[in-house]
């Protein structure tokens, strides 16, 4: 964790060799205003009048104007428009953690309530930290300054750059700049060369455009200026254009590669910019690259198609789009806008508001596809592959030198690390498809690897090459002396920062993962709810006094506990609870021949919620159908725990939560509901 002082001055959180990242936090000064943001887009891109543009840029008058006289368009009476299906999207309340992992992050505030994002930049010597808007649609770095001709009241609460107090400032004589917008608003001034600090790197001789004249529009803005990340041809300094911050970073060798990235988050301050590298921990799908048309100086790309609902519309191969961090809204051609709002019940074109208005429209969530990366930073992510059709998850582990990569089941219900080996007495057919570890060929440092010589048929049919135990050490079965678990060795050898690991398992895919040494903040929907662990038996065991079946909550007693077990696929509970559950499902029955409860696949199943500590976590009713039992029946994902005293919360439960296992001095688990 970086020092508070460093975070306060530079927003520093992450750094890696060859680059750094800048944290994009919320700026709470901003007041969300759709029409105002729309007008800013119009003036910035000089948008001309069309059927669905309430504002337009008047080139003759060089200003933004509002169209008058047209009656509002009401799509609520449009014939043959199907009522929109609304799918809720969970509001994210992730755990905020800034690991000190060899990379840096600078906080960037959402200064207009999820509509404008800005980042701290320090200018001069001694440094003055200003909150600046990072804008890919321009190429100027301009700031509020002590030379601005505004009142003290307008200056209040702002970061102000005073070049006369900076030992490293140098006025660029004869150079001026002006950014003028179509509605008459503008900002202008003179130019200095000075040192700036973004994140934890220093850029020297950066052209800083000092604002002297600002129109009212800028007086109302929440930020203290702007950092342009567009191409150099957009720079407004006269008579000689100046280098952008990105150009100087590259030429001065302070970043490894000439790239920057942006991640903006909704309703929080955990977005960021990175410079010189790609943060592989945040994106969901793989990257899809596209060449840029930089003739106009913007980050402009072909944009031939759009999907609205289930329909994809071809907008032509010549249609392009500008990716602009300095603009809050999305602007499209009139035909597309009409297609979109014709599908939104109650949407109207409002001349007074100067844009479209609609009711509470909920957009379906987007599937996420995390990229796997194992950074050497005391924290690591291991992908969990679905090897048994959504019932078993395993991860790649490399053993020895040279390494042999095996696919192992990560199991919080055990503490042994065992693998298939060349010493296993099996036929070639049984070995086919499995990776084999040969201890005679390689040496393993310090980690006890339990080499399998005999395996029962159950393991022969399994999809993994062994097991990596993540339970407490007392479960280790090596005799005569128990051996340290992989987690113990990671901690003692300083390979992880904190004695924690986390698990995220996904349904029907291989996008789940385990993390070691840190908490991944990007996956859970609720906050983490912590509960102390009962370690007497070596399991990750917690108090679990309640269960919800349908709308009713049943009290099972304070002594009831549950084991959170990644090595188990099902959920096992006491007989009374099992009976309560299946009695509510028509035609459900205990099939002795099949070995468990089954029920009609098409039957109505109540929603379920399971307890960790004092909190209930939901599992969708559809997940109760674990597998096909034949004749239109499904095998239940929840079965009896028999005489065992503990419930078992296996993968059926884990696929809907994010769990943090803290193996520190006072062991605990943190559980968050996922959307």
Residues of 253-289 as b/e, b for ≥16 C-beta within 10 angstroms?
A: ebbeeeebbbbbbeebbbbbbbbbbbbebbbeeeeee
C-alpha distances in Å from residue 250, one per residue of 215, 255, 259, 428, 449: 34, 6, 9, 56, 47
CA 467 to CA 620: how far, in whole Å? 29
C-alpha distances in Å from residue 661, one per residue of 37, 95, 546: 44, 14, 21
187 Cβ contact partners less than 8 Å away, ≥ 6 residues apart = 142, 178, 179, 211, 213, 214, 215, 218
C-alpha distances in Å from residue 361, one per residue of 64, 238, 246, 329, 357: 29, 47, 39, 16, 10
- Which stretches does DSSP call E strand in 380-473? 380-386, 393-399, 404-411, 417-419, 450-451, 466-469
CB atoms within 10 A of CB 655: 21
Is the CA virtual torsion 422, 427, 429, 430 positive or negative?
Answer: negative
The alpha carbons of the chain give a radius of gyration, in whole angstroms, of 30
What six digits make up the tokens of 523? 């996956």
Largest CA distance in the chain: 92
107 Cβ contact partners less than 8 Å away, ≥ 6 residues apart = 7, 11, 13, 23, 24, 25, 119, 120, 269, 272
The residues that are catalytic are 135, 324
E strand or H helix at 486, and its extent? Answer: helix 486-492
CA 125 to CA 416: how far, in whole Å? 57
CA 114 to CA 192: how far, in whole Å? 32
Give which of 653, 602, 656, 609 is closest to 629, Cα–Cα: 602
487 burial type by CB count under 10 A (0-12 exposed, 13-18 middle, 19+ buried) = buried
E strand or H helix at 439, and its extent? Answer: none
CA 664 to CA 667: how far, in whole Å? 5
What six digits make up the tokens of 168? 């490293």
464 Cβ contact partners less than 8 Å away, ≥ 6 residues apart = 387, 392, 394, 407, 408, 409
What six digits make up the tokens of 115? 């509509």
């Amino acid at each position: 964790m970086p020092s508070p002082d460093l975070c306060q001055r530079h927003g520093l959180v992450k750094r890696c060799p060859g680059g750094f990242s800048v944290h994009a936090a919320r700026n709470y000064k901003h007041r969300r205003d759709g029409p105002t943001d729309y007008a800013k887009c119009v003036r910035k891109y000089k948008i001309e009048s069309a059927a669905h543009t309430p504002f337009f840029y008047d080139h003759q008058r060089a200003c933004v104007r509002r169209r008058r006289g047209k009656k509002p368009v009401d799509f609520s009476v449009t014939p043959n428009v199907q009522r929109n299906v609304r799918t809720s999207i969970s509001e994210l309340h992730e755990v905020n953690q800034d690991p000190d992992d060899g990379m840096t992050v600078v906080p960037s505030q959402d200064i207009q309530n999820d509509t404008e994002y800005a980042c701290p930049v320090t200018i001069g010597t001694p440094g003055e930290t200003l909150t600046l808007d990072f804008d890919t649609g321009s190429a100027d770095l301009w700031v509020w300054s002590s030379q601005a001709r505004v009142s003290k009241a307008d200056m209040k609460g702002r970061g102000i750059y005073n070049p006369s107090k900076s030992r490293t400032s140098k006025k660029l004589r004869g150079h001026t700049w002006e950014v003028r917008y179509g509605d008459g608003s503008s900002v202008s001034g003179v130019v200095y060369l000075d040192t700036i600090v973004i994140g934890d790197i220093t850029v020297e001789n950066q052209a800083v455009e000092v604002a002297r004249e600002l129109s009212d529009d800028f007086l109302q803005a929440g930020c203290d200026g702007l950092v342009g990340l567009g191409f150099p041809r957009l720079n407004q300094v006269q008579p000689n254009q100046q280098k952008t911050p990105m150009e100087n970073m590259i030429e001065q060798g302070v970043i490894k590669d000439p790239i920057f990235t942006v991640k903006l988050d909704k309703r929080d301050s955990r977005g960021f910019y990175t410079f010189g590298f790609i943060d592989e921990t945040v994106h969901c799908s793989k990257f899809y690259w596209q060449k840029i048309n930089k003739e106009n100086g913007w980050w402009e790309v072909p944009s031939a198609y759009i999907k609205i609902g289930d329909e994809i519309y071809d907008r032509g191969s010549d249609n392009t789009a500008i990716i602009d961090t300095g603009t809050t809204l999305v602007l499209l051609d009139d035909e597309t806008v009409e297609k979109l709002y014709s599908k939104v019940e109650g949407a109207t074109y409002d001349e007074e508001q100067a844009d479209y208005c609609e009711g509470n429209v909920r957009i379906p969530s987007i599937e996420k596809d995390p990229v796997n990366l194992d950074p050497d930073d005391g924290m690591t992510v291991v992908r969990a592959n679905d090897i048994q059709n959504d019932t078993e998850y395993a991860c790649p582990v490399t053993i020895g030198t040279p390494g042999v990569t095996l696919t192992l089941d990560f199991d919080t219900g055990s503490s042994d690390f065992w693998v298939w080996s060349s010493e296993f007495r099996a036929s070639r057919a049984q070995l086919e498809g499995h990776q084999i570890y040969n201890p005679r060929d390689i040496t393993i440092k310090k980690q006890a690897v339990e080499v399998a010589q005999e395996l029962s048929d159950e393991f022969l049919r399994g999809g993994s090459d062994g097991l990596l135990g993540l339970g407490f050490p007392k479960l280790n079965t090596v005799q005569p002396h128990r051996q340290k678990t992989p987690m113990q060795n990671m901690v003692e050898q300083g390979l992880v920062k904190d004695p924690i690991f986390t698990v995220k398992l996904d349904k029907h895919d291989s996008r789940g993962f385990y993390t070691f040494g840190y908490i991944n903040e990007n996956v859970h929907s609720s906050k983490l709810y912590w509960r102390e662990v009962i370690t007497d038996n070596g399991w990750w065991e917690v108090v679990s006094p309640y269960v919800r079946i349908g709308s009713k909550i049943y009290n099972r007693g304070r002594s009831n506990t549950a084991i959170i077990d990644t090595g188990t696929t099902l959920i096992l509970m006491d007989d009374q609870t099992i009976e309560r559950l299946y009695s509510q499902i028509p035609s459900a029955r205990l099939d002795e021949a099949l070995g468990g409860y089954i029920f009609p696949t098409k039957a109505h199943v109540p929603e379920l919620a399971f307890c960790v500590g004092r909190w209930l976590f939901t599992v969708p009713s559809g997940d109760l159908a674990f597998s096909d039992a034949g004749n239109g029946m499904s095998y239940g994902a929840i079965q009896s725990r028999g005489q065992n005293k503990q419930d078992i919360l296996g993968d059926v439960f884990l696929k809907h939560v994010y769990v943090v296992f803290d193996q520190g001095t006072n062991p605990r688990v943190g559980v968050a509901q996922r959307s």
